Amino acid sequence: MPSKTVIVGSSVGLHARPAAIIAEEAEKLDSEVTINGVNASSSLMIMTLGAGPGTSVEVAGDDAAAVDTIAALVEKDLDAE
């Protein structure tokens, strides 16, 4: 199972807006991706992680490209957009 450890880039961490953006993108993928073991297509589950800015998280899934897609979003400051 491919996985990647990344640092949360959003200035508020994986809170409502970043979690919603990540979950929306994860729903489009053909494979399941998790962040620290929770389903990345659920914004509520992502928020329960309580991952603040600068926190290290593990993104994992069956497909390396899907993992890379979600990992890139986790690393990005999604509140700056």
Task: Say which DSSP state 69 is in.
Answer: H
Residue of 13, 15, 43, 74 marked catalytic: 15
Q: How far is 28 from 8, CA to CA, in rounded Å?
A: 21
Q: Is 15 a catalytic residue?
A: yes
User: 10 Å Cβ neighbour count for 38?
Assistant: 15
Task: Say which DSSP state 10 is in.
Answer: S
Residues with catalytic roles: 15
